[in-house]
A = this chain, B = another copy of it.
Amino acid sequence: MSLDVAAVRADFPVLARRARGGHPLVYLDSGATAQKPLAVLDAERDFYLRHNAAAHRGAHLLSEEATDAYEGARARVAAFIGADPGEIVFTRNATEAANLIAYSVGNAATSGPSGGRPAGPAAERLAVGPGDEILVTELEHHANLVPWQQLCLRAGARLRWFPVTAEGRVDLSGIGALVTERTKVVAVTGQSNVTGAMPPVAAIAAAAHAAGALAVVDGAQLVPHHSVSVRETGADLLFFSSHKMLGPTGIGVLWGRREVLEALPPFITGGSVIEVVRMEGSTFLPPPQRFEAGVPAAAQAVGLAAACDYLDAVGLDAIAEHERALTERALEALTAIPGVRVLGPLTTERRGGAVSFTVDGVHPHDVGQVLDELGIAVRTGHHCAWPLHRALGVQASTRASFYLYNTAEEVDALADGIRTAQKFFGAG
């Protein structure tokens, strides 16, 4: 299986634009957000121009069409990750999905899944309270860390974590001591947005389950780049963002095993999530409706479905292989430059296409500035993974991240740009 990059690039008009100094744009920041193919923009616009109405909020023709489009998008996303449509909850983004879980397990202490008071062993198993523990890793993006810290603050629970190895992988050696009967949730990234490391989520999920804990996977960097079958991850809950997988901003996805979603109380409430509302109290619908309050982001869901179509048409395996080759080239090129330190694994084994690095004597901001001046868009800073940077002994880094539209020449341009930065700042 192989990928026709030139054909792909033709679908992304922004890639043809010029960046600073008239240089062709070299977009190596898909880890932050991906560019959008025309098919996605067309799908969204077509929805607005022909079927726009409030999905699930009317009985007229347009609202029927909007509901069909929205639910069709749910089914499409479900198929994309090997799930049932009823297991797909549309959120605002990956971050909101993580918060949904963290708040919901906190709410389970005072609310049953359908409203009213919590009851039964399922509720007890979920609810997080004083003495309970949440387990994360030191590699996490802030989106899969801070919500858990805040949950612990609210619930009087304790946050623990797997440390990171010098290679930028999760250090699982202490797993026996870390996963205990006090552990309520184990939340781990499917792929680090800094080191590219892909932790063995199935093994971690199995350990979580053996202790009776929920296994949560941050799929924000995993789902856009690999063919993912959620059941094979072993996770109970997995989330990701549309905008990192060619889809629109403003929408994300939470997948959950049916029994788990059914046991979780609501998070954001309002219209569309309710069964019966009285001033004295309300009851709630089954999932996924229970978790989708308010008029839904139907146009964005339709755009995300079109992104799934696009990715499947190119082929996730072809995309993964294309990225692997680019990553390999980048690892080789960058490690060959004296003074450059790559922050993740140096081979492409169980490793995705985020390549973060430091340059001796040149601050990441300054590296990024020189690259930007050459038209090369990378990310600089801690990439919302500050504890990971601290653990690796660096304050910040520069990150190049690849996607289906990137080319080998762009990787070479990156390496050349780094050398230019070194020269400019008299380093290396």
A residues lining the B interface (CB < 8 Å): 13-14, 17, 19-20, 25, 27, 29, 32-33, 35-36, 41, 44-45, 48-50, 52-54, 57-63, 92-96, 98-99, 103, 107, 110-111, 138, 141-147, 149-150, 153-154, 159, 161, 241, 243-244, 248-252, 266-274, 276-279, 281-282, 293-300, 365, 368-369, 371-372, 376-381, 384, 386-387, 390
Whether B110 lies near A154 (C-beta < 8 A) is: yes
CA distance A17 to B52 in the complex (A): 12
Contact partner of A150 (CB less than 8 A), chosen from B17, B54, B96, B111, is B111
Whether B45 lies near A58 (C-beta < 8 A) is: no
CA distance A301 to B231 in the complex (A): 35
- Closest residue of chain B to A271 (Cβ to Cβ) is B384
Query: Copies of this chain, how many?
Result: 2
Whether B271 lies near A142 (C-beta < 8 A) is: yes
CA distance A294 to B32 in the complex (A): 10
- Closest residue of chain B to A142 (Cβ to Cβ) is B271
The answer to whether residues A29 and B54 also contact, given A92-B96, A277-B145 and a CB cut-off of 8 A, is: yes
Whether A57 lies near B379 (C-beta < 8 A) is: yes
- Closest residue of chain B to A93 (Cβ to Cβ) is B294
Whether A53 lies near B41 (C-beta < 8 A) is: no
Contact partner of A62 (CB less than 8 A), chosen from B19, B161, B269, B270, is B19
Question: How far does the Cβ of A141 sit from chain B's closest Cβ, in whole Å?
Answer: 7
- Closest residue of chain B to A147 (Cβ to Cβ) is B269
Whether A111 lies near B142 (C-beta < 8 A) is: no
Whether B279 lies near A159 (C-beta < 8 A) is: yes
The answer to whether residues A297 and B153 also contact, given A48-B36, A384-B270 and a CB cut-off of 8 A, is: no
Which residues of the other chain, B, contact A41 by a CB distance below 8 angstroms? 45, 48-49
Question: How far does the Cβ of A242 sit from chain B's closest Cβ, in whole Å?
Answer: 10
Question: How far does the Cβ of A178 sit from chain B's closest Cβ, in whole Å?
Answer: 13
Question: How far does the Cβ of A144 sit from chain B's closest Cβ, in whole Å?
Answer: 8
Whether B33 lies near A377 (C-beta < 8 A) is: no
Whether A274 lies near B377 (C-beta < 8 A) is: no
Contact partner of A249 (CB less than 8 A), chosen from B50, B145, B300, is B300
Whether B147 lies near A270 (C-beta < 8 A) is: yes
CA distance A153 to B161 in the complex (A): 31
Whether A377 lies near B52 (C-beta < 8 A) is: no
The answer to whether residues A279 and B93 also contact, given A58-B379, A295-B249, A299-B248 and a CB cut-off of 8 A, is: no
